[in-house]
Structures are given as C-alpha cells and as structure tokens.
Amino acid sequence: QVQLVESGGGSVQTGGSLRLSCVVSGMIYSSYCMAWFRQAPGKEREGLAGIDSDGSTTYADSVDGRFTISQDNAANTLYLQMNRLKPEDTAMYYCAADGWGGRIDIATMTEEDFGYWGQGTQVTVSS
C-alpha cells in the first residue's frame, strides 16, 4: 500500500529555514500529484504547494516566494524547503499524494483530492 512518512519539522526563530521531507512508497500511478498541506490549531487544513508528475508546481499566495516544493524521483522523496519563516507558519505539516490527471492548480486543489497522507510533522516558529 501507499505510505508517506514526513520528517524535518522542528522549532526555529523568525527568519529561519527548515526543509521537510516526505518519503513515498508503494505509489504506482504514472500520472500523480504530491502536495504539502498544513493545519494550525483551530484552523482548517490549508494547501500550500503541489507538484505533479510532469514537474509542474503551484503555490499558495501565503508561501509563494518563500517555500519551494521539489521531488527526487530516484529517492521517492518529496521536499518542502521553507525559508524566511514567520510565526504564522507554525502548524502541523502534512504531505499528500494521489493519482492525477491534468495540470495542478492551487486554486482548485483540495484535501479531498488526495487519498494518501503522511502522519504530519510539527513546525514551530518563534518570534
């Protein structure tokens, strides 16, 4: 079965950087999308970035220019490089994956589009 395992979360000060990793196993789709979401306490889960099997990427306005999503197909790993972190970036971060048709677009990407999720990794940014 498909498994996603995140790592790389932690505590940093404002302006710092972190790189999240998500090792994906068992996914057999030739056309797929992988994404990063986050959920802060008391808030809904928010889509941050997506990347499809063609390498096309999409970002939420809240992270565009600060976060970069990438994938290493040889290592079956999805990454989220997070720079210039802010206290409002504090949340549990999740990677997600599923088969996909068409171009990925943050405007239409929702958590319901993804059937496979990691367990989450906590990111805390202090001021």
**Beta strand ranges found along 29-101 (DSSP E):** 32-39, 46-52, 57-59, 67-72, 77-82, 91-99
Answer for the pair 90, 125: CB distance below 8 angstroms, yes or no: yes
Cα(87)–Cα(124) distance, rounded to whole angstroms?
7
Average pLDDT over residues 72-98: 96
Length of the chain in terms of residues written: 127
Q: Report the alpha-carbon distance of residue 28 to residue 26 in Å, rounded.
A: 6
> pLDDT at residue 103 above 90?
no
Helix ranges, 1-127 (H): none
Q: pLDDT digits over 110-122, tens only?
A: 999 999 999 999 9
pLDDT band with cut points at 50, 70 and 90 for residue 91: very high
Q: Please tell me the predicted confidence (pLDDT) of residue 27.
A: 84
Mean pLDDT across 5-27? 96
Q: What is the rounded CA–CA span in Å between residue 115 and residue 33?
A: 11
